[in-house]
Amino acid sequence: MTRPPSGYPPPTTGVFEDETIALTPLAEAVADRYFAEFPQDFDRYGEAARAWEIHDTLHTLKWALLDVQGYTSLETQITWLAGILGARGFPLEQLARNLELAADVAQERIGAPVAERLRAAAELIPVDRRP
């Protein structure tokens, strides 16, 4: 089974329009939606599945906030993450969907600029998007 995340912890807060945003509740909301669509990840990754989902989503949300502020490139970060996950055999269409779900949560709880960045990042993932 997959081990849970270790090492340097992911970010738990970010800033948008001079307001500190608690990222953990957002990442948990994304995880709830993600596992409603991809419950098979629990079979594949065991109990570590949710921990990894929240871990990676925390980073993704922070990168999106930093991108809006001009401090990093979400495109660069997501391209790197897709390379890592793809090399590990993670289905990249699920990464793209996770970014879309994160955009939905961001739209509801943070604002359109962050959501737009996340939706654009989802489009970067090399997956077949035909219906």
Taken in order 28, 30, 50, 34, is the CA torsion positive or negative?
positive
> Under a CB-based contact definition with an 8 Å cutoff, are residues 68 and 16 in contact?
yes
Confidence at 7, pLDDT banded by 50, 70, 90: confident
Residue-range domain boundaries for the chain:
21-124
> Under a CB-based contact definition with an 8 Å cutoff, are residues 71 and 118 in contact?
no
Token readout for 94 is 């699920």
pTM for this structure?
Answer: 0.92
Q: What is the pLDDT of residue 131?
A: 45
| Count of positions (residues) in the chain | 131
**CB under 8 Å to 84, separation ≥6 — which residues?**
none
Token readout for 103 is 């955009």
Q: In this prediction, what percent of the chain has a pLDDT beyond 90?
A: 80
Digit-coded pLDDT (tens) for 39-58: 999 998 888 899 999 999 99
